[in-house]
Chains A and B, each alone.
Chain A
Amino acid sequence: MSNRPNFGEEPHPARNKNASLNREVPPLERCYVRSVPTDARPTPRIRDGVRAALPLVLGPLLFGLSFGVLAEAAGMSTAAAVVMSATTFAGSAQFAAASVLDDGGTVVAAVVSAVLLNARYVGQSIAAASIFPGSRPRRFVESQLIVDESWALSGRSGRFEWPILVGAGLLLYVLWVSSTAIGSVVGSALGDPSDLGLDAAFAALFLALAKPYLREHKAVAAALVAAAITLVLIPIAPAGVPLVVASAACLLGLRR
C-alpha cells in the first residue's frame, strides 16, 4: 500500500526526504525510484490508524449508547454523561461509576471504583511514552487518546506507533462521545450489546493483539503469571484491582 505511488497526495511530514525526492527528479526516473522498495516497514499515517480501528466501531458505538442510557438512569444529565465520556474516555470505569450511582452508592465509592479501574493507564502510558512528539501541552492532549483499544492497536507491529494510536484514538473518541449523547437522549429503547456477543469480541481483540508479543519465553511466563493473578483476584478484590496487581508480572523482566 505504501509502495503505491501517491500522486496528488499531501506528503506525510515523517517522509520529508521522499517528498523532496519526488519533486526534484524527472518523471521517468521518478518511476524508477518509486519501483525500488526503499523502506521495508513504511511509516504508518494517521489514516492507517483510523483504518485499523474501523473493524471495532460497532463496540464503542453500542457500548457508548448503553453508557448514555445507564447514565440517564443513574441520574446524570446528558451534559454530565457527555463530559464524562469526553474526559474519562474509558468504558469500564464509566460503567462502574454510573452503576454505583444507579445503585444508590456514595460519591466516594463511585470515584474509587472508577479510579482503580483506570489505574492501568499509568502503565500503558509509560510503555508508549516515547512515541509522543512535540511540546508538553501537545503530548498531554494527544495522550488523552490512549484507551485500551487504541493503545493495543498501536503496538500491533511489536513497537508502539504514534499515527496508529492517534488515528484509532480519534475515531473511537468521536464515536464514544457522540454515542453517549445519543444514548442519554434516546433512552432505554435499545437492546443490550451483550446479546450480540460484543463483550466476547473485545476479549478476542486483546487476545489477537497479545499474540505477537508471546513469542518470547519471558513474555509468555509474565503473561501466564498475570492471567493467574487476575483469576485469583477477580472474586476477592474490587474491580480494577486485578488489572493493576497483575501488572506486577512485568517484574519478571528483571530476570535474565
Chain B
Amino acid sequence: MNDVWIVVLVVGAFTMVFKAAGPVFLGRRKLPAKAQSIVDLVAPVMLTALVVTQTVGSDEEIVLDARIPGVAAAAIAIWRGAPIVVAMFVAALVTALVRLGA
C-alpha cells in the first residue's frame, strides 16, 4: 500500500470516530449538569473560533487581506437582521471586489 492510501485511510478512520464520538458513545444519556453547562457553550465558542480562522487564518499565520472588509460588511448586514444567504453574498461580493481592485 502506498503512502497516499495510508494517509487517506488513517485520516478517514480518525475522522469517522471523531464524528461518531457523541452519538455512538454518549447517545441520549443525559450529561451531568456541570458537563452540560460546558457543552452548551460548544456552539458559540466553536463558531466564533471558526469565524476567526476563516477571516484571518492562513497556513499558520495571520493574514490580513480582502476577507476582512468582506466579513465586516457581512457583520453589519447580520447585525441589521439580514438573512444568512444575504450575509454570505455580501461577504463574497465585497471580498471579491477588493481582490479585483488589488
Contact = CB atoms under 8 A, between A and B. Distances in A.
B101 interface: no
A80 B47 CA distance: 30
Contacts of B47: 152, 206-207, 209-210, 213, 223
Interface core residue of A123, A194, A197 (most chain B CB under 10 Å)? A197
Nearest to A81: B8
Interface string B25-39: 011101000100111
Contacts of B91: 197, 200-201, 203-204
A223 B44 CA distance: 6
B75 to A, nearest CB: 6
Q: What is the predominant secondary structure among interface residues of chain B facing chain A?
A: helix
Interface string A104-140: 0001001100110011111111111110100010011
A208 B59 CA distance: 24
A226 B4 contact: no
Contacts of B99: 194-195, 197
Contacts of A136: 24, 27
Nearest to A232: B62
A188 interface: no
Contacts of B87: 204-205, 207-208
A129 B39 CA distance: 10
A254 B8 CA distance: 38
A196 B95 CA distance: 8
Interface residues of A, number: 93
Given A114-B11, A199-B54, A213-B43, A140 B38 contact: no
Contacts of B13: 87
Interface string A55-81: 110000000000000000011110010
Interface string A217-228: 011101111110
Interface string B85-96: 101111111111
A159 B43 CA distance: 10
A255 B67 CA distance: 35
Contact of B45 (A89, A122, A201, A222): A222
Interface of A: 55-56, 74-77, 80, 83-84, 87-90, 93-94, 97, 101, 107, 110-111, 114-115, 118-130, 132, 136, 139-140, 142-144, 146, 148, 152, 155, 194-211, 213-214, 218-220, 222-227, 229-231, 234-235, 237-239, 242-243, 246-247, 249-254
